[in-house]
Chains A and B, each alone.
Chain A
Amino acid sequence: MNEATLSILLLWTFVFVYLIAGSLDFGSGFWAMVYSNRKDTLAGNIANKYLSPAWEVTNTLLVMFVVALVSFFPKATFTFGTILLVPANLILILLTIRTAFMVFAYSAKEYQKILNQISGITGILIPALLVVVLPVTHGGYVEGTGASQQLLLGRVFTSPTVYSFIGLAILITLYLSSLLLADYAKITGDKSAYLIYRKHAMWTGPLFFLFALFVLFALKNEANWLYENMIDRWLWLLLSVIAFAIGYYSMWLKDDGKEIGRPRMALIFIGLQLFIASYTYGAAHLPYLIYPATVEESFTNINMYRSLIMSYLIGTLLFIPAFVWHWRLFIRNEKYIRGS
């Protein structure tokens, strides 16, 4: 594996991590909005339990991805920066409103409902817009060359591929977060909240699968090279389908005679499914970064590459204890999740 390929693998890993963390974050925000004023269930509180200590870390993961893109692929930065001016600025506006109003909602209890609504709705729109970057890299949406490249916004927002991706992104967000919150609810022993989130996982799961198929078929028409590459990896696609089936089914498994469904197991298998599917897509996308520009052409110089890899290694090693502590205090901590 050469340096450029290793870099794109690392970059794609950041995308994957953000896919998971972002889905949990925006999805929880959305559910927190839906259940914020319901007196009969604590489903909204449970969503906020996850959200409060996690959103800052999630946001940093997004910046981490942008920085890694700039660092490893400066020439692609030029293209991305030029063509994404409009959509990226819109995402930034949404992200800012979402974050600020979510934080404000914790402090202004009386206005919590409206603040939650603003942050919940803007939050669910963010993954929908972020994901548009993927079809744009498939080619066909950009006019001109070099500094005068332009994104054909009309074509983007009339493309069935783009809408398939948007649907997929929203459904991953809702599905993953339902599973996580079902798991949280199970730990707290809150039966009504558990059943609510289990119900949402039940309908978002199949829809998510359906949209994944839409994406595949839309690719066949719009970016056949990518579709062919993916079909060549049919074994991986099959594994991904199996992982999804096990994950979805596990919400019917009985857990030592208690409530029906094993959300922890579902989360692990759906995570695995997304891992397989996203890396299959990523591998099929090679050698192109932004079609027709390849990963290789967009790569930075070798000295920069070496110092970046070194600092990632050292930084990550140094941070492992901190991540573990954070994880144990908030994500996997029954006392924290149960606490009022």
Chain B
Amino acid sequence: MEHVLSARSLFGTTMGFHIIFATLGVGLPIMMLAAEIIYQRTKDPHYAIMAKRWTKAFAVLLGVGIPTGTIASVQLSLLWPGFMEAIGEVLALPFQLEIYAFFLEAIFMAIYVYGADRISAKLRILSLSLVSLGALMSAVLITNVHAWQETPTGFEFVNGQFTNVNPWVAFFNPLFPVTAFHVATSASLTGAFVIASIAGYKLLKKQRSIEEIALHKKAVIVALVVGGIAALLTGLNGHSSAIGIYKYQPEKLAAAEGLFETTANAPLSIGGYVDPETQTLKGAIQIPGFLSILSTGSTSGVIRGLNDFPVEEWPPLYIHILFNAMVGVGTLLIGISFAGIAWKYLRKGKEYPKWLLWTFVLSGPMAIAGIELGWVFSEIGRQPWTIYRIMRTDEAVTLTGNMGLFFLLFIGLYLLLGITVVAVLRYYFKRHPLIHDLGKIGK
């Protein structure tokens, strides 16, 4: 068991680190695209500067995102050979299609960055659109694998063998659309709020030129509009996700809500923690009947409780906290973006108050925390299964040792990369301050 835990820790660390860069890799191109399009429409050079500087940051982040993604894809086979054997038999398509998404992103990113001065504005926007599309597609396709782990379809499982495989039925598994949409919108919002964070921080600092302040304010609005729309879509989609869990993984929903007894008129529980001894939820605010309404559309809808399932198939009960924290973050982000936009349009000309700027600053880290929480919730919530009700995690793991050593090595590697990437970004933008780019306007 300890061996499985080491393998999970190692892979979890890889993914936890990678998804920060992967998510920004989806979100930032969308922001760059927004800035490029606004620039082409308004000819306001501030937007060209934004696109240029965000592109630089994106290029540096790719230096971490791409190799850690390579680690993730290879470690899948190294740590979970049993799982990947199943994937090879049933679900190779998304992995293969993802290669094309990578090519799309890599080729057009090179064209956009290194060929920008040799192609027309239209082709630049086209290139950038294809970069964003490639990034979004790769997120959607890897989510396809994740969705299939939750709702495995497209095969018959007889005596431990996958037979009668239909790759496209596996690809279009029931949870794919809703999960993919969730990941795509939450990745988009993360890139936007990280920009809002930085712009907000710059606006809080004193001694900025009027030009700089003007640019940061524009950046805040682009970020809050893109982020707000994406956050709203994520929230709306969260409802469909909940219905999906209700339908396909009732024990996950029960654990997420700390519900032990099967009941109609089930309450939605916010906050608190689950006490496994007494089988109760402590310190939670409950909205009677609301879980039934959200999942089934009426208070009479029956929600199955944990006691309907064998204890060894329960996911860990702390996922209730992860689930609540994720939803909380999403809700706050919607609030922040609406507050920011409303302030600009309702109180014309008035500066953003400090407290509001601070919420902008916090929105980026919150968004990243949100995607981490969502991902951990989703993975832990599926335990003990790696492929739901087909393959347990301890059946998928490699038997090869040395896991503890590699766990330490990779933690060291990610620490080194994390520190260096921040240092490089700081160094670069200190060396190339905004004021220089602003000074070049009109020259």
- A residues near B (Cβ < 8 Å) are 52-54, 56-57, 59-60, 62-64, 66-68, 70-75, 77-86, 88-89, 92-93, 95-104, 106-111, 147-148, 150, 300-301, 303-304, 307-308, 311-312, 315, 318-319, 322-323, 325-326, 329-330, 335-336
Contact = CB atoms under 8 A, between A and B. Distances in A.
Contacts of B90: 304
B391 interface: no
A270 to B, nearest CB: 25
Contact of B95 (A70, A100, A111): A70
Nearest to A60: B102
B398 interface: yes
Contacts of B420: 100-101, 104
Given A53-B110, A59-B67, A335-B118, A104 B77 contact: no
Interface in B393-443: 398-400, 402, 406, 409-410, 413, 416-417, 420-421, 423-425, 427-428, 431
Contact of B398 (A70, A82, A96, A307): A82
A328 to B, nearest CB: 10
Nearest to A301: B165
B335 interface: no
Contacts of A62: 70
Contact of B77 (A81, A95, A150, A322): A81
* Binding site secondary structure of chain B: helix
B73 interface: yes
A66 B110 contact: no
B107 A57 contact: yes
A300 B88 contact: yes
A77 B82 CA distance: 9
B404 to A, nearest CB: 12
- 9 nearest CB pairs, A to B: A74-B88, A103-B63, A71-B92, A81-B81, A56-B106, A53-B110, A96-B67, A81-B77, A307-B167
A150 B400 CA distance: 7
B60 interface: yes
Interface string B69-85: 11101110111111011
Given A56-B62, A57-B106, A70 B67 contact: no
Nearest to B130: A322
Contacts of B115: 53, 329-330, 336
Given A59-B67, A59-B70, A307-B167, 10 more contacts: A74-B87, A79-B81, A86-B402, A89-B409, A92-B71, A99-B66, A308-B92, A319-B100, A322-B107, A323-B107
Q: Most B CB atoms within 10 A — which of A73, A111, A150, A325?
A: A325
Interface string B83-107: 0111111101101111110111111
25 contacts: A52-B110, A67-B92, A70-B84, A70-B87, A71-B92, A72-B88, A74-B88, A78-B84, A81-B79, A84-B78, A88-B78, A89-B406, A89-B409, A100-B420, A106-B59, A109-B431, A111-B427, A147-B81, A148-B399, A300-B88, A301-B89, A304-B92, A315-B100, A322-B103, A336-B115
B398 A92 contact: no
Nearest to A59: B66
B3 to A, nearest CB: 12
A135 to B, nearest CB: 19
Contact of B93 (A78, A83, A100, A307): A307
B56 interface: yes
Nearest to A53: B110
A61 B71 CA distance: 14
Nearest to A147: B399
Interface string B353-375: 00000000000000000000000
Given A73-B88, A104-B63, A60 B96 contact: no
Q: Most B CB atoms within 10 A — which of A52, A82, A88, A100?
A: A100
Nearest to A109: B431
B433 to A, nearest CB: 15
Nearest to A312: B96
Interface string B104-142: 111111110111001000000000000000000000000
Interface in B39-77: 56, 59-60, 62-64, 66-71, 73-75, 77
A300 B167 CA distance: 12
Contacts of A53: 110-111, 113-115
Contacts of A59: 66-67, 70, 106
A63 B102 contact: yes
